Structure 1
Amino acid sequence: MSLSVPVSLASGTGAASGAAPGAGAVSVLWESDRPYRLDLSLGVLAHGRKDPSVRIGPGVAWLAFSTPEGNASLALTEQPAPAPGARVLARAWGPGAEFALAGVPALLGDSDDWSAFDQPAFTATLPASLAETRRRNPGLRLPSTGRMLDSIVPVILEQKVTAMEAYYAWRYLVTKYGADAPGPAPAGLKVPPSAEAWRRVPSWEWHRARVDFHRSGTVLRACGAASALERLSEVPLGTDLTARLCSIPGIGPWSAAEITQRTHGAPDSVSVGDYHLAAFVGEALTGRRTDDAGMLALLEPWRGHRQRVVRLLVLSGFRKQAFGPRLAPEDHRGR
């Protein structure tokens, strides 16, 4: 990997929005000798297709977030590169622009090392369909955002509800209480609320967002410990990190796994307790649904890479058979 020295940008093309990057932007060019795909790698950061803080498309991504130095908008665009390498131009705006650029290598998965996974001896242990999925997607990497609260809040909103409900709540609250993204960002791009801003959300707005008091209470507890939680971005992966996340009442092993998959690029993190995942993994690997214990047993031969295996199963296009009516979203607004 190499990263150029930041330079000023006065003009260019904002591919995601068609907007021209105005004066005041800074940029770096990230280069790698390995393949890379923005949409495959960063797609996990979007909480629904209409996430107001993320825009991801083929070859381009926009993200808006806060940093210790202020808010930032980050535009990432794939550039031509000699095979099999990759180049991504990163441009940033706002008071947190320089800080945002410093995190680009981790965000793009620069330290996500698939070399052991791609060894022929390891690949031979994979089902043929999974090995083929990896062959067709060599540019997949696991991102590390390092932004704890921005990952913790949407994961809490996803606890024990449908994805549709959770995505609606995140979109509603970020759109209403987030800040406009700095620079020539796509219309509607928002910086998620700060811990202080989350604490100011009135109780009736949580109801309008269809968030029950258990989840809103967990969000508020996390915001009360935001400074300590943000410091966890420097804590390496391991049981201590999970235990410290789970010290917040309302955050359990499922939430901790979902959080560290995004904040730390956890290659072995499995979301035990997910409503759909165990059945999906079981059916994809054996043709039969299973429970969490069965899923962990199936994934055990690939310990150290279990999240990578799960991501590849999702990319394979396999869909488990649906049975019965869909779960109807629960409306908390009248309570």
Structure 2
Amino acid sequence: MTPAGPGTVSIRWSGGDVVVECFGPGGAWLQQQSGRMIGADDTDDHGLAAAEHPVVATAAHADRYLRFGASGDLYHELLPTILEQRITIGEAHRQWKRLCLELGEPAPGPFTRLLLPPEPSLLARQPSWWFHPLGIERKRAEPLIDVARHASKFWEWSALGGAEAGRKLRLLRGVGRWTIGSVLGPAIGDPDAVAVGDFHLKNVIAHNLAGEARGTDERMLELLEPYAGQRGRVVRYVARHGSAAPKFGPKKRIMTMHAW
């Protein structure tokens, strides 16, 4: 979805060049946004390859061509992120697919299997109990509905800086620090956004930056403090090139919500 209506963007490499094709009423908006989507304006040298910590420096050097993109679409980023609250990523992906199959319309262009996210006015009309057969309980259904009801505000919010956009998002029901930290990076390209409250992330950072098998959110933020302004970038580097935190105990059984 775009401010001008539904649209589809296709971005591909061809002979060393970036080729952008856009379709639908929102195509012109997507064309203007495409440079930010691929991180074309994220070209500054942030100095992380020269960081004192060897893990950060090594990961930053390995990912020196990685760019922070920005979709500019908070609505589209918020919906699947809310679904990821408190469940596994695989189950969240299945629920997102089912939600789009139920309420999404075919996307403009030649991509016959591509669906749009649910249109805000349609999603906002659904009662919370409607989501249960999809595996989405009331605690996540209500934030989805609330996001849909406020969707028109997000275009203005996405033009704000990370801190101000985060303050606005905290006004929404069921949108907390983890959700905000997860969407500000891909939606507005905020390189400092960190998903506080993540089940795994605090352990990954504590293990790689301090050699500690387990960490807390407070410890994670303490270790990331030297990289203020680029903490989200450091998290991405370490997650991609650092080592996994040690695992203890048996695996948890996964039970889908609709089977309860």
TM-score, structure 2 normalization: 0.91
Cα shift at 1:278: 0.3
Which residue of structure 2 aligns with residue 261 of structure 1?
185
Give, in angstroms, the shift of residue 264 of structure 1.
Answer: 1.0
Give the C-alpha shift of residue 203 in structure 1.
Answer: 4.7
Q: CA deviation at 1:161?
A: 1.7
Aligned to 2:50: 124
Report the number of matched residues.
Answer: 259
2:104 match: 178
Partners of 2:178 and 2:63 lie apart in 1 by: 27
Task: Give 2:93's match in structure 1, choosing from 145, 153, 167.
Answer: 167
Gaps of 5+ in 1: 1-65, 82-86
Hey, what's the Cα distance between the residues in 2 that align with 1:203 and 1:296?
A: 35
Is 1:190 the counterpart of 2:125 in the alignment?
A: no
Q: CA deviation at 1:125?
A: 2.2
Shift of 1:306: 0.7
Aligned mates of 2:124, 2:233 — CA distance in 1: 35
Asked if the contact 1:179–1:193 (Cα under 8 Å) also holds between the matched residues in 2, the reply is: yes
SS in 2 for 1:297: helix
1:109-136 deviation line (CA, Å, top 9, x unaligned): 1232441x23xxx533243343233323
In 1, Cα distance between equivalents of 2:110 and 2:157: 32
User: Match for residue 76 of structure 1?
Assistant: 11
* Separation of aligned partners in 1, 2:29 and 2:97: 25
Deviation at 1:334, TM superposition (A): 5.2
Instruction: Point out the structure with the larger strand share.
Output: 1
Question: What TM-score does the superposition give when structure 1 sets the normalisation length?
Answer: 0.72
Conserved 8 A contact 2:74-2:155 = yes
Instruction: Indicate the SS of the match to 2:71.
Output: coil
Unaligned segments of structure 2, at least 5 residues: none
Tell me the residue number matched to 1:226.
Answer: 151
Is this contact kept in 2: 1:207–1:334, CA < 8 A?
Answer: no
Q: What are the equivalent positions in structure 2 for 1:240-279 lying under 5 Å apart?
A: 240-279=164-203
User: How well do the aligned residues superpose, as a CA RMSD in angstroms?
Assistant: 2.0
The aligned counterpart of 1:54 is none
Asked whether the 8 Å contact 1:162–1:327 carries over to 2, the reply is no
Encode CA deviations 1:265-301: one digit per residue, 9 max, x unaligned.
1111111111111011111222212111111111111
Rate the CA distance shift 1:304–1:129 in 2: closer, same or farther, 3 A: same
Q: Tell me how far apart the structure 1 counterparts of residues 195 and 106 of structure 2 sit (CA, whole Å).
A: 32
SS of residue matched to 1:326: coil
The answer to which structure has the higher helix fraction is: 2
Q: State the identity %.
A: 29
